[in-house]
Structures are given as structure tokens and as C-alpha cells.
Amino acid sequence: MRGTAEPGRGTASDRARRVRPETVAALSWLAVAALAAAVAPIVASGHPIVLHRLDESGGITATEYPLWRMLTGADRAWLIAGAGMIAAAVMGAVRARRMAWWALGALVAGGMAAAAATAPRPRIAVFDYAERQARGEVRAVYTLIPWSPNERPGDRDARMLPPGIFEDEPLANLPREGVADDELFDARLWPVLVERVDRLPVPSATRARIVQRLADEHFTRHGLSGGEAERIARDCLRGGRRHLLGTDAHGQDVLSNMIHAARTAISVGVVAVGVATILGVLIGSLMGYIGRWVDGVLMRVVEVFMGVPLLFILVAASAVLPRSLAATMLVLGCFTWMGAARLTRAEFLRLRGQDFVLAARAAGLPTWSIVLRHLLPNAAAPVVIDASFSLAAVVVLEASLSYLGLGPPGRASWGLLMQSAKGEAGDFAWWLAVFPGLAVFLTALSYNIAGEALRDALDPKTHR
């Protein structure tokens, strides 16, 4: 890359250096998504980072770190992968490129494999930190987005809330139709709430404002139900943070879900495409290298797999096979290998008769050496380019399956969020359609743009 002396590499290196802005944007988005996936449990969690237990007089008796304690093995694996990614980026910046790529590859692959292998199924949870805080038992410091993706409100009024920030967004647009009279705010709760707010460890001005808001807007004017009032109060007690991008049909935070869903999207994409590429290269090289009847038979197999419309067979498979993250990855991989196989076959057919292969054969090299050392590296470019486009396709497929409710169960997914956009009551929850859909779209778009850039860089035949 650095040398300009070689005349043959001049153009390639020039072309590589002229990185188009959309490529930079695409890679940036992918980096953001991957980073979000890696650090999701630290950035978005309903568990406080620090939890001080308080005694009667407000003194600290003990200190816990629930967020760290609740990290699973998968979370740690993801964090290691994220650290590897950052390290690779840093090393890339100081131009130790080869090492950077190896570090990145090894860490990301290792982390994802570990994450896929060990990830337990997250359960729906109701957290009690806020209540304990309200009772004055504890004081908590939360992370950036103080919601876990699977955290549901404890009361029965789980409603889809539109995006809003507590400090600015008026809560007047909270849905309040359908609140029965007997559900209206129970006046007996009021002194309890005020008392709780009074004991909050925040400046008195904030306390006063919270009380003011509770009194003015929510209870008297909007006739909210007791559960709703409780919930708002609880949100206030949590440092005034509301759901930045709203909530879904179960009352779960959308932003937190989206950050955690980046994990599902990226790991499903990478593992499924990895499976598909390995399978495809294996089958394709068999077809291309051996030829004859093997080629004929395997070509029929390729045609059989290409004859079945993908989503139909995926939907059918989800009905039969056990539903889990690993199964989703494997099934997606096993039904998308045909492109890689055909490309590998074509490349092998093209290369098979070329001089360097004949020379290798004449030199008496074993078959595995000819295939692995000589043919495969020369056949890799189209497969790698195709893998990038496959990533885009698989991300969209995963979202579609999750939208249909057939994705990996119990896991945050962009597709699953879109599912509740068409609300039960017939409202259109636009925030559930726009934000997760945009994430799917941007990820697919980025993979496609990256694929195009790869093609321009690797494939000298295409002239735009």
C-alpha cells in the first residue's frame, strides 16, 4: 500500500486511496452498529451502575454494582469483541494494518462465536430499583439509557408511549382515552408520592419542579390512572429520564431494544453468512475442481435450493425446527449458500486450466495444496464481494422473520419492534416503524455500499 514504486500497483492503490464519501459513511454506520452491539449492556440497562444502600438517616451502609454483576458470559464476550474492534481501529490508525486486520478478525469472530454459543434466553423482567429508591432504601446511579430491553413496567398499564424526554416534552400527549373513572388517580397516593419526591437526593429546585409537574399536569389536568401516575412518578425518580424513542406494545423501551437488537442483527448476519460462505465455497470448489458428474449432481442441488422462494422455506423451517438464535443462524446459512457456490465454481472453472495451476500440478503438489493455496486465494475476490451483499440480504431476512414473529425468541430485534407499530387498538405507532426500520435499512444499505466499494477495489473488470 505504501510503496508507489511498483508500476503495476499504482492504479490499484490510487483507486483504494480515493475512498468515496458514501463508503466512509457506510463503514461508519456499521462501526456504530457493531459498537452498539458490543457495549449494549453497559449503555442500555435497567440495572444501576452503582447502588448505595441507605440507612434511616440517609447514610451509605453498603455499595453494590448491579450492572456489572448482571453481565452474562455473552455480554463479556461481546465486550471483548468490542475492545478488539477498538484496538484494531487504533492499530489501523497507526498503520499496522495487517496486525489490525488479524486482531479484528480474531476478536470479532471469537466474541461472536462465544456470544452465540453462550447467550441465554433473556427473560421478561420487572425491576424494583425505582421502588426501592422511592422508599428511600437505596440511591442509584444509572447508565446512559436506564432501561433494559426486556424491562416491563410493573403496573398493568403498559402502554405504547411516543418518544419524549421528560424535561422538555410535554406529557400531555400521553394516551388517556380508555381510562375508566374508577381508575382515575387515587388521591390517597398523592401524599406518598410527594413524600418520596421530597426524599430524593436531588437539588431542591428539581424536587420542586417534579412535584409541580406531578401536581399540575398529570393528575389534575389529564386524569391519568393510578398506575400511569405511579409510572410517571417512578420515571421522575429515575433522574427525569423518559423513553427517548418511546416504548413498544409491552411498555419496553424502544431505544434500549434497538441497541440490543444490533447484537441480533450483526451476529445473525455474520454467522449466517459465514456458514453460507463456508458451505458455498466447499460445494463450489467440489463442483469446479472435480467437474464431471459431481458438477452435474451438485448443480441440480443448487437449482433445487434456488427453486424454493427463500422466505417461504424459512417460514416453514421455523415451524419445524427448534426456535433459537443458533437455529436461526444455521437455517439462514443453509439456505443462502448457493451464490457463493456458483461464484466459486465459475472461478475454479476459469482458473483450472491456467498455467499456474498446471505448473502446480506438474510440480506434484497434492490436491489440497492446489485447491487451498493456489485456486482458493485467486477465486476469493468474487466470493468476498458476494458475502458483503449477502450480509445485507440476511439482515433484511432476519428482520422479516422477526417481524412475522418467527425470529429468535425472547431476543430484541429490529423486526420485532416493527411488529407492534400497527397497534392493537388500531393506532399507528410511527416511532415503532420509523426508528427500527431505519436501522435495518441503514445496515443493509451500508453492507451493500461496502460491497460495491469492495468490488471496485478488488475486481478490475468492472469499470463504472
Contact residues for other proteins, defined by CB under 8 A: 22, 300-301, 303-313, 315-322, 392, 396, 399-400, 403-404, 406, 415, 418, 421-422, 426-428, 430, 433-434, 437-438, 440-441, 444-445, 447-449, 452
Q: Could you write out the DSSP letters of every residue in 99-123?
A: HHHHHHHHHHHHHHHHHHHHPPPPP
Q: How far apart are CA 256 and CA 261, in angstroms?
A: 8
Compute the half-sphere exposure of residue 28: CA atoms within 13 Å on the CB side of its CA.
Answer: 7
Least CB distance from residue 346 to other proteins, whole Å?
14
Q: How far apart are CA 14 and CA 201, in angstroms?
A: 60
Least CB distance from residue 333 to other proteins, whole Å?
15
Q: How far apart are CA 48 and CA 67, in angstroms?
A: 6
Q: How far apart are CA 270 and CA 257, in angstroms?
A: 20
Q: How far apart are CA 169 and CA 354, in angstroms?
A: 68
Least CB distance from residue 392 to other proteins, whole Å?
6
Q: How far apart are CA 293 and CA 106, in angstroms?
A: 38
Least CB distance from residue 219 to other proteins, whole Å?
27
CB 45 within 8 A of CB 30: no
Closest to other proteins by CB, 23 or 150: 23
**Type and span of the H or E element at 139:** strand 138-141
Q: How far apart are CA 223 and CA 14, in angstroms?
A: 67
Least CB distance from residue 441 to other proteins, whole Å?
6
Least CB distance from residue 251 to other proteins, whole Å?
20
Closest to other proteins by CB, 343 or 440: 440
Sheet holding 60-64, edge to edge: 60-64, 50-54, 138-141
Closest to other proteins by CB, 54 or 439: 439
Cα separation values, 461 from 52, 83, 231, 346, 351, Å: 64, 37, 61, 15, 16
Closest to other proteins by CB, 115 or 276: 276
Closest to other proteins by CB, 6 or 424: 424
Angle at which helices 254-290 and 376-403 cross, to 10°: 140
Closest to other proteins by CB, 105 or 405: 405
* Of 143, 148, 146, 144, residue with least CA distance to 124: 148
Closest to other proteins by CB, 191 or 307: 307
Closest to other proteins by CB, 184 or 404: 404
Q: How far apart are CA 263 and CA 78, in angstroms?
A: 9
Closest to other proteins by CB, 3 or 426: 426
Least CB distance from residue 270 to other proteins, whole Å?
18
Least CB distance from residue 116 to other proteins, whole Å?
21
Least CB distance from residue 89 to other proteins, whole Å?
25
DSSP-assigned letter for residue 248: -
Least CB distance from residue 407 to other proteins, whole Å?
11
> Please, which contacts does 419-426 make with residues 24 or more away whose CB atoms are closer than 8 Å?
420/160, 420/248, 420/249, 420/250, 423/160, 423/249, 424/249, 425/178
Closest to other proteins by CB, 85 or 265: 265
Number of H helices, E strands in the chain: 19, 3
Cα separation values, 2 from 14, 274, 321, 453, Å: 11, 31, 51, 20
Q: How far apart are CA 26 and CA 16, in angstroms?
A: 16
Least CB distance from residue 317 to other proteins, whole Å?
6
Closest to other proteins by CB, 298 or 360: 298
